[in-house]
Amino acid sequence: MFTSKERAKLRSLASTMRPVMQVGKEGITESLVGALSDALEARELIKLTLLPAAGGDGENLAANLAELLHAEVVAVIGRKAILYRRSSREIAHIEF
């Protein structure tokens, strides 16, 4: 879990980001989870668009994805979700 300061910092970093992927009518698939895992490993923080065709509300979809990816939901704003997972690679990590 994040403190409110950490969550605010991650939200501000994500505010200028473009969504890396869309979750559409196919829903959550194995290939989507693999691609998102690779994106989290490279960036640590990603933004997604959750299309209405994906079914369910944005909060549930984001929670399901976070569980599958071993990530944390930073925020869900409308149909946009922000996920965070610390990378295991030697990169410049996001500092809180």
For 1-16, write each residue's pLDDT tens digit.
899 999 999 999 999 9
- 96 has pLDDT over 80: no
Beta bridge partners of 21: 48
For 29-86, write each residue's pLDDT tens digit.
999 999 999 999 999 999 999 999 998 899 999 999 999 999 999 999 999 999 999 9
**Cα(71)–Cα(22) distance, integer angstroms:** 17
Beta bridge partners of 83: 46, 73
- Architecture of the CATH domain 4-84: 2-Layer Sandwich (3.30)
pLDDT top residue among 21 and 94? 21
**Cα(37)–Cα(87) distance, integer angstroms:** 10
pLDDT of residue 89: 85
Give the chain's radius of gyration (CA, Å): 13
